[in-house]
Structure 1
């Protein structure tokens, strides 16, 4: 049996919280502290200036990556809360609703 290596988190990658108060919420990685911890923000409840330190094991790394957020972080070291909200909204709108998934659409 082959064991898959966990994917390494990247700046600008969208994640879903699996544990804690914000369980089920989507956020964006705005900082990487080491191979175990990242900083996440959503631009709404959790602003860029006050990111949440989160264990990677408590996050689901989503296949979506926001180049706009990553480029802004690389160029200036900052990102606006509006860009974070936009990236999350764009991802959520691109996902089929739970009702559509149940119906097989």
Structure 2
């Protein structure tokens, strides 16, 4: 997620300002998620971060409700970058959710 001011204040983004404006004005985007595909993905484990600056928490939880049997880890331990910053902890936890070594739902 980016904001319009970023294309003015962040030098590296300035060349993309026009393209970003065109994308922001586009109104005919296809649906972001295909519910049939989501329902066919099994098993599914996901991390949802309370403080994620790029992904809305409520939207994440709403999407998760669309996936039967999803195994969630809801946390504020990381902020969007858990896979990179968690030194394997996040992936180990998610894999544990999938293989039954962790509870089906974690809230930390």
Interval containing the TM-score (normalised by the shorter chain): 0.3 to 0.5
More strand by share: 1
Give the TM-score, by structure 1 length. Answer: 0.34
Q: Which has the higher helix share?
A: 2
TM-score, length-scaled by structure 2? 0.33
Larger CA Rg, structure 1 vs 2? 2
